[in-house]
Structure formats: structure tokens, C-alpha cells
Homo-oligomer: A and B are copies of this chain.
Amino acid sequence: MTALRIGIAGLGTVGSGVLRLLKEQGDLLAVRAGRPIEVVAVSARDRAKQRDGDLSACRWLDDPVGLAAEPDVDVVVELIGGDEGPARALVEAALANGKSVVTANKALLARHGIALARQAEAKNATLAYEASVCGGIPIIKGLREGLAANAVSELHGILNGTCNYILSQMRDTGRAFEDVLAEAQALGYAEADPSFDIDGIDTAHKLAILAAVAFGTEVDLGSVHIEGIRHIGALDITYADELGYAIKLLGIARRTPDGIEQRVHPCMVPKTTAIAAANGVQNAVVAQGNFADKVNFVGRGAGGGPTASAVVADLIDIARGCRVPVFGVPADRLVKATPRPIERRFGAYYLRLMVIDKPGVIADVAAALRDHQVSLESVLQRLRAPGDNVPVVLTTHETHEASMNAAVAQIAALEAVVEAPRVIRIEQF
């Protein structure tokens, strides 16, 4: 049977992984896909760089966007990254020419996914993006096909391996955030500019994509509430452990009667949950279907191998002739959802204060919570240092985020409270 001919743009970690995978087990893939998958053209920044795969048989293009115009390219594999520039130009041009696209680009999907889906549909082309969320975990397929019979009401997950690695290391070693981040950068687990990961932006991109697939709503990145992990202290990790929780940066999406809630922030989750057990660079996603009940997917969320596995799985689907609507339903059937602001969250909270150790402080804090109808669950003041600063940790019963915010503002204004209060939401899944 005729080969599926692909052009690859971007030969970094993932692109090299794809080349290696296609080379190492091309025969196996051909049997599974029903035909060979053949790289006919590539484009990357540095032609001279040594690479795993054999590129002698394929054309080199200096301009990646040129791949969209190559007559013998059936599928463009976009591994450049970034939501604008050559990545976007290439994907748009390829779809305009009726070529299918496989991409690992979450930023592009999160910002322009709906427009691109419409373009793909108009040309009967496939736009596949399994590799854009959770690397080696087949989560797009799991939601869009595996759970296709379900109305999904909620999903949550660890969507960024860098943050999960940092938080796991902080817990295992007791070290501070900055220390562990610096080490992760030295090891190549975190970028030189780590903001995209540790400030939750990457997680937000992935969450917005998953929410669209799960709920049949338009991708709505702008409505995602985003907080990162910079303010998590070693103390918080210790207290969390004592209270029976692990701290994870989660993306959470919920369909509620008054709108779609999407939020990214550090959470305390019970240590007994599967999500708490996913450590290091692992990713994990739990989806709640109305017939399947809870389904949990765990695996490696990044790296050349796992991401290449997802890219090539998409290629095999295309070779097999399987085409599913980009976000599970045709783009014009996606619903524009009402965003539900995080202020309406109803749940428990962890609050860490640094206070001057003197009589009456905890009474003032408790009074502030009471003033806003927030009910205390526990108070921990482990250290004594009369007249000096000590940490005090409180947990609340379930309450509204707006009430909690008001109470925290009042607490922050107390004279004895010497640092900005740290708040972490507690999630009982």
C-alpha cells in the first residue's frame, strides 16, 4: 500500500524522538498502520547538527512553512512550538492546502484551536494533537474516543512534569523551592526561563484543551484562573504531610449548572488519592464520566520518547483512515461556555501565617474568619518564640472563595501578621 508521507518541522528532543521511533520500528508501525510511514522532508534550525535518524533520503527545507507546499507531503508534523510565528504559519498553510497536521503545540491549540479546527474540517483534513497534552498518556484519545459515551462533569490532573518534579523533590528532601528549581534547571528538567512551567501557564494551556474535549465547549484559555507554585514553601509541604495531604499543581475543570470552571493552582490533595501518588515527572489525569465513573490515566508527560509515542500514534490513526472531530464534535457544535469565576469555588482552605508570638493573635485571626462566616477546622502552632515570629497554620471547613478572600484580607491587615498570608486550596476528590 502507498506510504503515508510526512514532513517534519522542528528536530529538537521530540523531533529527534520521532525520527528515531520511525527508524527503529518502522516495520512494526507499517503492519499496525496498514502502510509505511515515510519521512520525505524536514526543516529545522541547524542543518549541521548531528541527529539520531537518517535524513539522507529526505529533502531539507530551510523554511519550515515551505513543508505546507511540498506536493508529496501528506501530513505535516509541527514540532516547532509557540503560538505564533512559523508554527502557526505552517499549520495554517498546511491545512489550507488540505494536508493533515500532527502537532505537539499546546500553546497553538489553546489559543487558535477552534479556528484551526474549522479550517481542518473545511478541507477534510485531520488536526491531531495527542502530543500536546501529557506526552505519553493517550489522554486526548481517552477522553474524545474512550469516554465518548459519557457526559464528563469534572476532570483534574497533574499536567506539568516540571512542577510535579519540583514539588516531589521539595517533599522528599525538605529543601526550598529556589534550591530545587535551580537543581532542576541544572539537570535540564526546567527551562532557563522557568516561568512558563512554574507559573502555571503551560498547565493552563493543557487544561483549556482538555476542557474543550471533555465538555464540548470552545477552548477558553482566557477564562482559566492561573496560579503557579513559586509561593509554596518547604514549611507548607511539611504541614501538608502532617495534615494528610500532598501538594500538587493541578489543572481542574468542572461543568456546573452556572458555567464552566477552569483553574490552575497548587492544591492539597489527600495522600491516599491516585493523583497524590503520581510523583516526579509523572503526569496524571482523572476524568469523571456519568457512565464510566472515574477513570485515571498516569504516565510520563514529557520527554522525547513519550512525546514521540503520541506523535506517531496520531500518524498511525491518519494512516489507518480514522478521523474524529478535532475536539470530539464538529467545531460549529462546540458550545461557547459561560465561565464560572473562581470566587464561586466552594471548598476547604489551608492558611499559613507568620505572626508575632503573643497572646491574642489567634483570637484575632479566628475572629476575622468568623466575621466572614468561615468555619475553622484546625489550628497548628508548633513553635513557641514569645515576641518573635512564628508560623501558624489553619485549615477551614468548606466555604466560599469570596468569603475566604475577605477573611484573609482582614487577617493580612492585623498588626501581628508580619508576612502576606499563604493560602492553598484543599481538594477532596
Q: Which residues of A does B touch, CB under 8 Å?
A: 17, 21, 25, 28-29, 31-34, 130, 135-138, 141-142, 145-151, 216, 272, 274, 277-278, 289-300, 303, 305-306, 308-313, 315-317, 320-325, 328-330, 333
Contact = CB atoms under 8 A, between A and B. Distances in A.
Q: Which of A216, A313, A328 has the most CB of B within 10 A?
A: A313
Q: Which 6 A-B pairs have the closest CB atoms?
A: A138-B146, A136-B292, A149-B312, A292-B309, A322-B322, A295-B299
B295 A297 contact: yes
User: Per DSSP, are chain A's interface residues mostly helix, strand or loop, or mixed?
Assistant: mixed
27 contacts: A21-B291, A25-B149, A25-B151, A28-B151, A29-B148, A31-B333, A32-B216, A135-B292, A136-B292, A138-B145, A149-B312, A149-B313, A149-B315, A150-B309, A274-B274, A274-B277, A291-B305, A292-B299, A292-B309, A293-B305, A293-B306, A294-B299, A294-B300, A295-B299, A298-B298, A321-B321, A321-B322
A390 B261 CA distance: 59
A33 B295 CA distance: 21
A105 to B, nearest CB: 19
Given A274-B298, A295-B137, A313 B142 contact: no
Q: Which of A146, A289, A310, A330 has the most CB of B within 10 A?
A: A146
Given A138-B142, A141-B142, 12 more contacts: A29-B149, A31-B330, A32-B216, A130-B146, A136-B293, A138-B295, A141-B141, A272-B277, A274-B278, A293-B306, A294-B300, A320-B323
B151 A142 contact: no
Nearest to A146: B138
A306 B149 CA distance: 10
B299 A298 contact: no
A296 B142 CA distance: 12
B277 A329 contact: no
Contacts of A33: 148
A359 to B, nearest CB: 44
A118 B398 CA distance: 57
Given A151-B28, A316-B149, A17 B291 contact: yes
B31 A313 contact: no
Contact of A21 (B136, B137, B149, B315): B149
A174 to B, nearest CB: 19
Nearest to A293: B300
